[in-house]
């Protein structure tokens, strides 16, 4: 339970920083048992054990307390270069990582493909070597190609965090979703709860990562949408996540929503229309849009979630998105805390010599 002192900046250990003075002490950050964390990178949630998920959740709770302070800043990552390398546009994820890293006093550099020499045809591997030579010790990467963060991890000498790769994985989203559910479900656990992921499951890295973490945490997960947007998931469900953990695949929206504890609507990408997978946004909304009437089939206190950005009136009705059970804004706020926790744990593991 003792944190590696290397993680703490001098001010913090001395207890004399003005952050401490303003915020009432940062010692609580040290209660996160960083020593249990063994991973050098966070590429997906599939490798996380139940204990590790629990550690992320506890560390996130600590970071949420930091965020509630008047000055939400701790010196844990002082002197660490954190580089956000985004090959796809994003407001919420890029800003979320930027704010999280700055709250830990890291030095943040933003690199976006559109404004960089990435457009000159430089290879991903060279870009990553360059960013490391420029001082990056943590690399947050979003890329349209599934697997790109794994390639990055093979090259990069520091820690790589996957901020979304193609249709594949979005581990910090899954972690913030889990944290958000736990803090709003009675008993603080998703075990045995019915969680419905609704919409374009096929193209969703959010759905894939959530399937790993939610089934690991014992939830009864249902994925639901038009059959064309569920392709391949029947086979995965039959085999089981990690060859064992079952989930349910259905296009029957009524069956999916019945007595659900949590309903997570996914974004419908307008470009899916062109590929013939969906007839029209209007038809999708008519058949699968999450409306108040449909939500009535779920449990009375069912939680509503969405990873954003929303197409209101398509996959989710405006009154549901803004309703009293909607956690959509909580998800965003928890995203900052989860990313602070992940950066903190990875830094601690690095200092402890993690090589995985």
Stretch that binds a copy of itself, among 71-79, 177-185, 188-196, 230-238 (CB under 8 A): 71-79
Shortest CA distance to 298 belongs to which of 272, 275, 276, 326? Answer: 326
Nearest to 125 by CA among 152, 160, 153, 94: 152
What's the first-to-final CA gap in the chain, in angstroms?
Answer: 21
Find out whether 116 and 110 touch, Cβ atoms under 8 Å.
Answer: no
- Residues numbered 129 to 168 that lie near a copy of itself (CB under 8 A) are 129-135
The minimum distance between CB 95 and a copy of itself, in angstroms, equals: 5
Does 287 contact a copy of itself by CB under 8 A? no
> Of residues 36, 310, 352, 354, which one binds a copy of itself by CB under 8 A?
310
Cα dihedral sign for 252, 258, 260, 265?
A: positive
- Is the CA virtual torsion 34, 37, 43, 45 positive or negative? negative
Q: Least distance from C-beta 276 to a copy of itself, angstroms?
A: 21
**Size of the residue set binding a copy of itself (CB under 8 A):** 61
Binder of a copy of itself out of 35, 147, 308, 323 (CB under 8 A): 308
Closest CA to 176 of 209, 142, 221: 209
Indicate the residue among 36 and 61 with the shorter CB distance to a copy of itself: 61
Asked if the peptide bond before residue 309 counts as cis, ω within 30 degrees of 0, the response is: yes
User: Which parts of 47-128 are beta strand (E)?
Assistant: 81-86, 107-112
Distance CA 337, CA 62 (A): 8
The reply on whether position 71 binds a copy of itself by CB under 8 A is: yes
Q: Which of 4, 46, 52, 330 binds a copy of itself (CB under 8 A)?
A: 330
139 or 253: CB nearest a copy of itself: 139
Q: Segment 91-120, which members bind a copy of itself (CB under 8 A)?
A: 91-92, 95-96, 98-99, 102, 107, 109, 111-112, 114-120
Tell me the three state secondary structure of residue 340.
helix
Binding mask 3-42 for a copy of itself (x = CB under 8 A): ------xxx------x--xx--------------------
Minimum CB–partner distance for residue 321 and a copy of itself (Å) = 8
Q: Does 123 bind a copy of itself (CB under 8 A)?
A: yes
Name the DSSP class of 268: P
Kindly state whether residue 73 participates in binding a copy of itself, applying the rule CB under 8 A: yes
**Residue among 267, 216, 264 nearest 243 (CA):** 216
**Rounded least distance, CB 90 to a copy of itself, Å:** 6
Distance of alpha carbon 169 from alpha carbon 56, whole angstroms = 18
Q: Where does this chain bind a copy of itself (CB under 8 A)?
A: 9-11, 18, 21-22, 67, 69-73, 78-79, 81, 83, 89-92, 95-96, 98-99, 102, 107, 109, 111-112, 114-123, 126-127, 129-135, 270, 308-312, 328-330, 332-333, 335-336
């Amino acid at each position: 339970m003792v944190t590696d002192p290397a993680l703490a900046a001098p001010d913090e250990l001395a207890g004399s920083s003005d952050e401490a003075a303003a915020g009432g002490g940062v010692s609580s950050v040290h209660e996160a048992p960083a020593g249990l964390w063994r991973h050098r990178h966070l590429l997906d949630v599939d490798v996380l054990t139940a204990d590790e998920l629990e550690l992320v959740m506890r560390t996130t709770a600590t970071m949420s307390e930091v965020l509630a302070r008047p000055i939400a800043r701790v010196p844990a990552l002082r002197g660490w270069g954190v580089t956000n390398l985004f090959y796809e546009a994003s407001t919420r994820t890029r800003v979320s990582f930027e704010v999280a890293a700055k709250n830990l006093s890291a030095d943040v550099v933003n690199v976006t493909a559109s404004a960089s020499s990435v457009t000159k045809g430089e290879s991903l591997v060279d870009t990553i070597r360059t960013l490391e030579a420029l001082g990056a010790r943590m690399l947050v990467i979003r890329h349209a190609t599934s697997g790109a963060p794994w390639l990055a991890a093979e090259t990069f000498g520091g820690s790589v965090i996957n901020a979304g790769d193609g249709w594949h994985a979005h581990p910090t989203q899954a972690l913030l979703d889990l944290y958000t559910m736990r803090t709003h479900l009675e008993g603080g656990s998703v075990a045995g709860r019915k969680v419905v992921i609704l919409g374009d499951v096929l193209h969703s890295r959010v759905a894939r990562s959530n399937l790993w973490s939610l089934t690991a945490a014992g939830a009864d997960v249902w994925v639901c949408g038009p059959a064309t947007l569920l392709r391949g998931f029947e086979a995965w469900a039959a085999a089981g996540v990690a060859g064992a953990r079952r989930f349910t695949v259905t296009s029957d929206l009524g069956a999916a929503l019945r007595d659900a504890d949590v309903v997570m609507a996914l974004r419908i990408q307008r470009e899916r229309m062109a590929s013939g997978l969906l007839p029209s946004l209007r038809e999708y909304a008519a058949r699968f849009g999450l409306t108040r009437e449909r939500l009535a089939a779920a449990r009375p206190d069912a939680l509503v979630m969405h990873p954003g950005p929303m197409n209101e009136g398509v996959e989710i009705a405006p009154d549901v998105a803004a309703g009293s059970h909607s956690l959509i804004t909580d998800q965003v706020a928890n995203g900052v805390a989860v990313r602070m926790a992940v950066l903190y744990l990875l830094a601690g593991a690095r200092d402890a010599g993690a090589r995985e």
